[in-house]
Structure 1
Amino acid sequence: MRAVVIRGFGGPEELRLIDVPVPVPARGQVLIRVEAATVNPVDVATRSGALAGAGLMPPREVIGIGWDLAGVVERTGPGVTGLRPGDRVIGLSDRLDVPLGTQADQVVLDADAVAAAPAGASPVEAATLPLNGLTAVQALDRLGLSPGGTLLVTGAAGAVGGYAVQLAAARGLRVTAVAAPADEALVRELGAAEFVPRTARLGEAVRALVPGGVDAALDAASVGVAALDAVRSGGAFAAVVGGAAPPPLRGIRVFNHWIHADGGRLRDLAALVEAGALTLRVAETLPLEQVAEAHRRMEKGGLRGRLVLTP
């Protein structure tokens, strides 16, 4: 089978599509035939060496690329219940130090990192849900806002930010979205009650809409202290990019949220997709062998939705 790996850090030219043996599921694991795998910023950070430079992963001769997928269960390991060969699933690999990622023909995942794919969604669409959807919902869970609370979401037109807006609105939160002026209609459609262009001075602009500042912020665009200024004293602030959390000024509870696999929460997200409460957005689909081109497009920015590779 084929898999995308790197053997050194650098630009997209470091990506290799190599032949490797089909992995074997151990106890509590499943072998999945990959139908679609999403390209995410963490893949670019892995390939470039940024994560290794930050001390988040040790040296390894071969590093696998890819975090989330949609596919079909091929085999189950001992002790697996609730999943059978032929089941269509979505799943997440949340480890950095792996020789094989999800950008491959087949991959082994822990069964508790997998959930049934949302009915009615294509594999390409479904593959965009695990990493970005779980990042958004887990960060919102940690912010702990009650219905009627106010939330600022930066990068609201992006993959994580878009999910955060929809999930927060569904919880009864009043969302102020930050994005490019051209994206105002999109983020309002996703559920934002207020909009602030990303070129504005956030603290002043948000406080003009929400006197005293919002209860919390989910910073999906790594805005940092400028977004923190929009949060009321004693509020909460979630950074979803590693190392992007600002200082906890004015008694604000500040944290970096680190994603983790959670099959149960993934089932909840799939149910929201099926109910029409969560929108899956695909920027473009490319064959697996064009992974380097996908990384180039990711680095250019400006995508609305995710790039998806199809083995």
Structure 2
Amino acid sequence: MKALVYSDFGGNDRFQIVDREMPHNGPDTLVVRVVAAGLNPVDYKVREGYLRGAIDTLLPAVPGWDVAGIVEKTGLDTPKFAVGDAVLAYARADVVQHGSLAEYMPVPVRTAAHKPEGVSFEQAAALPLTGLTALQSLERAGVRSGQTVLIHGAAGGVGSFGVQLAVLRGARVVGTASPANHEYLRSLGAEPIAYGDGVVDAARALAPEGFDVIVDYAGGASLDSVPHLLASAGTVVSIADPRARSEFGGHYVWVRPDAAQLAELAHLVADGALRVEIAATYPLDEAAAAYAALEQGHTRGKLVVTTAV
């Protein structure tokens, strides 16, 4: 099978398209014929070696945890799935080795959900990591109806889902983004403000009593404004800055695979309640170029690589 691999840590030039053996599947693993794979910044951070203290990588490695495809083989104990089923997964294993940027991928059954009719493979591949991150961070913060929520990085991959899911819970959402993305945020149900200088004044103008929840999907200096914007008894959650917990008594969230939650998100997409923004799709042969575009950091929505087998 064809796969995108890197054999040592470093930049985008480490990528090669090579032939690899078909993956094997254990008792609780599916072999999935990949139709589409979603790209995430964590993929290239692993490749560059930034997460070597947190995630083990067995080289040569195939990147990618987000996958949508067709079950090619089932394991001995995978009773909920059959050959030919359409599935999606946040297929993160304990070791980075067999990722989704390949024609076939081994998928732990605990990470997989059935793809609903009406959801494209591209939409399904764009959903897992970012959708689960948004859902789990909002659940950790206890976002509920009637609250006023500030989301930093609201137009990004995770933020776009976070805005929509918070609105679905009945919250009022204010989101930071560049002015070019303000109309996009309005279409998702958020009140946009520009990040950077003036963010505190703009946010206070919309919520003079402060925010019940501040959600950080951007990192950097986003949490510097917490003392000025968090309401009394408010909650902070971040996926990028441990200060949310250590300084502000809130939560730091590292997304976990959860098949039931992924199925819930996929059905929201099928029902039209959750929008998946896809910026561009690339064929597998151009996957390195897709990662190069992702690393520029200016993409709104998800980049997806499609595989024809």
Same fold (TM over 0.5): yes
1:246 equivalent to 2:243? Answer: yes
1:236 equivalent to 2:235? Answer: yes
Letter in 2 for 1:47: R
Distance 1:178 1:82 in 2: 41
Residues 185-200 of structure 1 aligned to structure 2 (within 5 Å): 185-192=183-190, 194-200=191-197
Distance 1:218 1:238 in 2: 5
**1:168 Cα offset (Å):** 0.3
Residues 45-124 of structure 1 aligned to structure 2 (within 5 Å): 45-52=45-52, 55-58=53-56, 60-95=58-93, 97-124=95-122
Query: When the two structures are aligned, how many residues end up with a matched partner?
Result: 305
Q: Secondary structure, in 3 states, of the residue corresponding to 2:95?
A: coil
Distance 2:184 2:226 in 1: 24
**1:26 Cα offset (Å):** 1.1
Q: Which TM-score applies when normalising by structure 1?
A: 0.93
**1:246 Cα offset (Å):** 2.2
**Cα–Cα, structure 1 residues 249 and 264, in superposed 2: closer, same or farther, change >3 Å?**
closer
1:216 equivalent to 2:213? Answer: yes
Q: Secondary structure, in 3 states, of the residue corresponding to 2:51?
A: helix
Pairwise CA RMSD of aligned residues?
A: 1.7
Letter in 2 for 1:265: Q
Residues 1-311 of structure 1 aligned to structure 2 (within 5 Å): 1-52=1-52, 55-58=53-56, 60-95=58-93, 97-192=95-190, 194-222=191-219, 223-229=221-227, 230-241=229-240, 244-246=241-243, 252-311=248-307
Describe the superposition over 1:237-266 as per-residue Cα deviations: whole angstroms up to 9, x where unpaired: 22113xx2326588x332221111111001
**1:127 Cα offset (Å):** 0.7
Letter in 2 for 1:236: T
Letter in 1 for 2:208: P
**Cα–Cα, structure 1 residues 70 and 171, in superposed 2: closer, same or farther, change >3 Å?**
same
**Cα–Cα, structure 1 residues 28 and 248, in superposed 2: closer, same or farther, change >3 Å?**
closer
Distance 2:177 2:116 in 1: 28
Further displaced range: 67-76 or 207-216 = 207-216
Tell whether the 8 Å contact from 1:118 to 1:126 is kept in structure 2 after alignment: no
Letter in 2 for 1:33: R
Distance 2:73 2:59 in 1: 28
Unpaired runs of 5+ in structure 2? Answer: none
Tell whether the 8 Å contact from 1:150 to 1:175 is kept in structure 2 after alignment: yes
Q: Secondary structure, in 3 states, of the residue corresponding to 2:250?
A: strand
Tell whether the 8 Å contact from 1:238 to 1:245 is kept in structure 2 after alignment: no
**1:36 Cα offset (Å):** 0.5
**1:115 Cα offset (Å):** 0.8
Tell whether the 8 Å contact from 1:153 to 1:165 is kept in structure 2 after alignment: yes
**Cα–Cα, structure 1 residues 257 and 269, in superposed 2: closer, same or farther, change >3 Å?**
same
Identity percentage of aligned residues? 36
Letter in 2 for 1:190: L
**Cα–Cα, structure 1 residues 132 and 253, in superposed 2: closer, same or farther, change >3 Å?**
same
Unpaired runs of 5+ in structure 1? Answer: none
